[in-house]
Every structure is written in C-alpha cells, then in structure tokens.
C-alpha cells in the first residue's frame, strides 16, 4: 500500500495573505489576476439548511481564549475536509477556474476529512472543561489554516456552520507559507496534507504531522479524545533509532541496556503530550481520573524487557503519565490501533502509518529523524 497526501498546488507570486479571527481550503497556487472572480457568478443562492452553530457565551460577549493561554491546534482545510474534487479542478483547468468553481459552489459544504473526528473530540473536551472551569482559558483553540485565496472563505465558513464546528480563527495565506502565522498563534500542533510545510514547521520547533485520506475509517469515541504516539523520533529523539539503523538490532538492545538510566532527549511531539497531560490533570483535580475525556497511548515497536524501561523512565522523569503503553517488539501496529480507535496516531515511519490506515485507524506521519533517510523494510523489525 502506498499513501500520498493530497497533491499541493505550486506557488507563483502569491498575493498578500489574510488572517482573521473568524473561520477558513488549502491549495498552494498563484492567485494573480483573481480579483474579478465574482463576475458572472450567481451570488443570490442561499446556503443549504443545516444545524446552527452556537458560540460560547460569557458575560459581556463571546468567549475567546488568548492564544498564549490556549492549546492551539492549527488544521489545514485539506485534512479537516474532503477537497479532492476541487483539487482536480485546479490541476485540470487552472487557478481561475478553480476559484470560480469554489465561488459557484460556496453554499455546498465539504464532507469531513481525516482530521474531522479529532477536531470534534477537541470540542467535546472543551465542553467538559468549561463545565468544571467556567472562567479558564486553558482550552483547545482551533485555527483553520489554508493556502487558499479569501474568495474560498465563504464556502469554508458555510461548511463550518453546517457541521456545527466552533472554529472562529483562521488564516487564508493566498499561496504563501503559513509557518510565521503558526508561531504567532503559539501553535501546539499543526496538521496538514503538505509534507513540506510540516517539515518546515518541525524545523521551527512546532509539533506537526502529515495526514492522509483513507476510504476506510473505523468509528471513534464521541466523548473521549484518544491520542496515540510512537516513541522514538516522535515523543523521544531519534538517538536510539540511529543506533539501530547503523549497527542493527543487537547493538540497539545493548545500547538501551547500557543507557537505561540516562534519559532520552525530547522528540518533536513531546510538547503536545505535555499540554494533553496538563489538561488531564485539571480533570483529575476535580475527581475525574477514571472518566477523564482525554486518554493517551504509547504504541511502540520497542520490546518491553529489552528496551522499554528507558522509555518509561524518561516519561516518568518528565512528569508525564501515559494511560496505556503497548510494547509490540516489532509486531504490526495496525491491529492494536484498530482496537484503540484513536482520533489520531503519530508515527515517524510511513510503514507504520500505512499499516494503521489499512486497518481504518486515523494516522499521521511525523517526518522527523533518521528513518526519513532509511525507510523501514518489511524484512526487518526495528527496535523502536
């Protein structure tokens, strides 16, 4: 099986970007000469009926947490929604016809994409947090990020309202890179279909992953957010993976035994696990440990007895609790993820991402570390 993220449009002389506190299509392209796109387009159509989105209300108006206090999740429109048809219009007919098509269909909502259940689960956690801490700004705050021109914004807002999502912040960058905006939003996690932009975000110290479309998708919980992580090159550095790639499995085990009391360095998603843990502790403080709406999983190909102790000691030293830990000793991860049913699973190796998606699990690739240079081969079992 081979997975490819939705092809990203090329940038040529992008127009200035638009960032708004409201809501946002995600295709990089030239946006020149597009200001007349509304000509000859019927703007009298009425949106299709759908559920009405309700904003959070507080005394004095609608409540929006400050970015520095919130857990900010930036999501590309191409992983939140299904936009393959629109992508084909761009590829076959060019940018002007693409924009015209979007305006003509702006009252037709996009279907949910792979990140949609994850975002809905974030909103469910927010609802529980607001019940327990009405005045707290420590909430998930979702920012919709798109390479699209602002003309596409109406369709995206209509879609957000149709699906009753609470997304009020978005950036439409008109073909330019969103990375600078991600830093300004204090982004804790960025999910995109563009592997290059994900790598750019990782290089800037922003937790990020590439998501993929899958026709098969298992049902996930509507009341509990489930997030699963690989270990090396995701939560931890790729130090141990480098030993395995260079010297083989026996040397890897020897290295881990010799260094079991030396902490692993942090990986690109350690910070995201930390903020999840911080929110979990808010529920624990109110007596909701057993029914906490956030649950975390470590799903690693490491062997428990041979190399698992170092990983667990590192997490404990960091003050991080993992609700469940699965040490698979090289066994396929897909069947385990099918049972966990995570809203998202992060792994640095496409081999494991493909296996998860084959089972219908929602998986995201973290393009970080030595595994990007030496892809996993089916004939070998990594120790991580």
Q: Can you give the pLDDT at residue 282?
A: 97
pLDDT of residue 216: 82
For residue 100, the tally of other CB atoms under 10 A from its CB is: 19
**Residue 5 confidence class, pLDDT cut points 50, 70, 90:** low
Per-residue pLDDT, averaged over 56-82, amounts to 78
230 is catalytic: yes
Helices H / strands E in the chain, number of each: 13, 15
Query: Could you give the CA distance from residue 287 to residue 375 in angstroms, rounded to a whole number?
Result: 45
Give the CA distances from residue 78 to residues 113, 133, 221, in Å, rounded to whole numbers and listed in that order: 7, 33, 23
- pTM (global) more than 0.75: yes
pLDDT: is 99 or 73 the higher one? 73
Residues 6 or more apart in contact with residue 161 via CB below 8 angstroms: 47, 50, 52, 53
User: Looking at 16-20, 193-197, 324-328, which range is the least confident one?
Assistant: 16-20
Per-residue confidence (pLDDT) for residue 22, from 0 to 100: 38
pLDDT beyond 80 at 144: yes
Place of tokens 């029914």: 291
Which tokens is 113 given? 């994409």
Q: So what's the pLDDT on residue 63?
A: 64
User: Does position 16 have pLDDT exceeding 80, yes or no?
Assistant: no
Strand 225-229 and strand 294-300: the pairing is parallel
**Any idea of the CA torsion for 260, 264, 270, 274, to the nearest 10 degrees?**
50
Question: Mean pLDDT over residues 174-185, rounded?
Answer: 86
In order of 62, 83, 171, 315, the CA distances from 77 in angstroms are: 24, 8, 10, 33
Q: Between 220 and 68, name the one with better pLDDT.
A: 220
Phi, psi angle pair for 153, to nearest 5°:
-60, -35
Residue range 295-341, pLDDT digits in tens: 999 999 888 888 888 999 999 999 998 999 999 998 999 999 999 99
Query: What's the pLDDT at 376?
Result: 60
Task: List the catalytic residue out of 141, 194, 230, 348.
Answer: 230
- Core vs surface per residue 160-199: b (16+ CB within 10 A) or e: bbbbebbbbbbbbbbbbbbbebbeebebbbbbbbbbebbb
Element (H, E) at 19: strand 18-20
- Average pLDDT value for the chain: 82
| Mean pLDDT score, 204-228 | 92
Q: How far is CA 335 from CA 210, 297, 377, in A?
A: 21, 14, 19
pLDDT at 341: 96
Q: Quickly list H helices, the chain.
A: 77-80, 84-93, 95-104, 116-132, 153-162, 179-184, 195-203, 239-247, 249-258, 270-284, 309-317, 334-340, 350-358
pLDDT score at 172: 86
Does residue 195 have a pLDDT over 70?
yes
| 306 vs 300: CA distance, rounded Å | 13
The predicted structure's pLDDT at residue 62? 54
pLDDT tens, residue by residue, 244-261:
777 778 888 888 888 888
């Amino acid at each position: 099986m081979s997975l490819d993220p939705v092809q990203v449009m090329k940038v040529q002389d992008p127009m200035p970007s638009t960032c708004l506190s409201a809501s946002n299509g995600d295709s990089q392209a030239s946006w020149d000469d597009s200001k007349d796109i509304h000509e000859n387009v019927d703007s009298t159509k009425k949106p299709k009926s759908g559920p009405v989105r309700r904003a959070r209300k507080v005394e004095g108006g609608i409540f929006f947490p400050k970015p520095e206090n919130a857990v900010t999740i930036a999501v590309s429109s191409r992983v939140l929604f299904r936009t393959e048809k629109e992508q084909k219009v761009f590829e076959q007919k060019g940018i002007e016809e693409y924009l015209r098509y979007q305006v003509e269909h702006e009252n037709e909502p996009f279907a949910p994409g792979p990140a949609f259940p994850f975002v809905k689960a974030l909103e469910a956690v927010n609802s529980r947090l607001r019940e327990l801490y009405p005045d707290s700004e420590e909430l998930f705050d979702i920012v919709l990020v798109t390479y699209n021109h602002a003309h596409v914004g109406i369709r995206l807002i209509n879609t957000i309202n149709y699906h009753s999502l609470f997304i009020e912040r978005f950036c439409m960058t008109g073909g330019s890179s969103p990375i600078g905006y991600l830093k300004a939003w204090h982004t804790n996690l960025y999910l995109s279909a563009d592997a290059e932009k994900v790598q750019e975000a990782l290089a800037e110290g922003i937790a990020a992953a590439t998501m993929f479309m899958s026709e098969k998708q298992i049902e996930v919980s509507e009341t509990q957010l489930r997030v699963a992580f690989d270990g090396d090159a995701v939560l931890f550095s790729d130090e141990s993976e480098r030993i395995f790639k260079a010297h083989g499995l026996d040397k890897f085990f020897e290295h881990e035994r010799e260094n079991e009391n030396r902490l692993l360095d942090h990986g690109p998603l350690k910070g995201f696990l930390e903020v999840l843990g911080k929110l979990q502790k808010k529920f624990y403080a109110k007596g909701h440990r057993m029914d906490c709406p956030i649950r975390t999983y470590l799903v690693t190909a490491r062997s428990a007895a041979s190399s698992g102790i170092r990983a667990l000691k590192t997490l404990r030293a960091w003050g991080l609790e993992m609700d469940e830990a699965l040490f698979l000793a090289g066994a396929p991860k897909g069947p385990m993820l099918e049972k966990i049913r995570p809203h998202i699973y992060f792994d640095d190796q496409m081999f494991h991402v493909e296996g998860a998606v084959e089972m219908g699990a929602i998986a995201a690739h973290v393009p970080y570390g030595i595994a990007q240079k030496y892809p996993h081969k089916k004939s070998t079992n990594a120790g991580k």
